[in-house]
Amino acid sequence: MAKTRVGILISGRGSNMASLIKAAEASDYPAEIVTVISNRPAAGGLAVAAKAGIQTVVIDHKDYATRMAFEAKMHQALLDAGVDLICNAGFMRMLTGGFVDRWKNRQLNIHPSLLPSFPGLDTHERALREGVRIHGCTVHFVRLEMDTGPIVAQAAVAVMPGDTPDTLGARVLEAEHRLYPHALRLVASGAVRVSGEDIRFAPPTDTPAALFSPPLRP
C-alpha cells in the first residue's frame, strides 16, 4: 500500500516536524515526509529537514504583495512535491479561505492546549491564570477559523503546583512530540476519517483510564 505523502509547513525550529520525520523513518509508518516548506528563510527546522534528506523549500511571505499570492506559490510547491496531506508544525501564518478550502480534510495542525479551551496564543499563561488542573495539546483538521476543526487526538498533562508557563509548556511540548506522530499515523492509515465536521474511527479505539490532577490517593 502506498504511503501518504506529507508536506510540513514550518516557521521556526521545527521540533514537531522533527518528531514526524523520526516517526516516518519506521518502515511500517503509513506516511512519508516528502517536503518541508518554510515562510521564513532563517527557520532552524530547514537545516534539520535537509540533514534528514528531505527536500526543503523557502517561500518568504515578505516577497509577495498579497497573502493570496504567497499561498498560490505555496500551493503549487505542495502540488509539485505530490503532497497528499499537510502538517502544520509551528507555521505562524493565518491562511485564507481559498487555501483552507483547497486542502480541506487534508491539512492537520497541532495546538498547545486542549481545544476548544485556550485557542490562540499564550496558552500556558492563560491555563495557569484560569487555574485549570489539566492542560495539554490537540491535533485537529484545519478550518478557516483559527484553532477550530475536527479533533483527531489529544494528550493531557497535569498542571503541577509551582508550575510556570515555561515548565508547563515544556511538558506539553514533550506530549506534542508523541501526539503528532500518533495522530498522523491514524489519519494516514485510514483509521481516522472526517465525516462532515465529525471524526470517525475505524476500528473504534479503547478508552484509556482517566487522568486525575491532583492524583488520587489510596
Tell me: the pLDDT tens digits for 115-159? 999 999 999 999 999 999 999 999 999 999 999 999 999 999 999
Task: Give percent of the chain above pLDDT 70.
Answer: 97
CA 24 centroid distance within chain: 15
- Which residues are CB-neighbours of 201 under 8 A, at least 6 positions away? 186, 191, 192
Q: Is the pLDDT of residue 209 over 80?
A: no
111 is catalytic: yes
What span, in angstroms and rounded, lies between the C-alpha atoms of 21 and 210?
30
Phi-psi region of 214 (alpha: psi -120 to 50; beta: other; left: phi over 0): beta
Whole-number pLDDT of residue 205: 65
Task: Show the cell assigned to 185.
Answer: 499515523
- State if pTM tops 0.85: yes
Q: Is the pLDDT of residue 203 over 80?
A: no
- Which residues are CB-neighbours of 82 under 8 A, at least 6 positions away? 5, 34
Q: What is the mean pLDDT of residues 160-185?
A: 98
Q: What is the mean pLDDT of residues 29-49?
A: 98
151 touches 138 (CB < 8 A): yes
What span, in angstroms and rounded, lies between the C-alpha atoms of 194 and 216?
36
Other beta carbons within 10 Å of 61: 17
Q: Is the pLDDT of residue 204 over 70?
A: no
Task: Show the cell assigned to 171.
Answer: 511538558
Q: Is the pLDDT of residue 29 over 70?
A: yes
Residue-wise pLDDT for 82-95, tens only, equals 999 999 999 999 99
Q: What is the mean pLDDT of residues 185-199?
A: 95
- Which domains occur in the chain, in start order? 4-200 (3.40.50.170)
Which one from 61, 75, 111, 124 is the annotated catalytic residue? 111
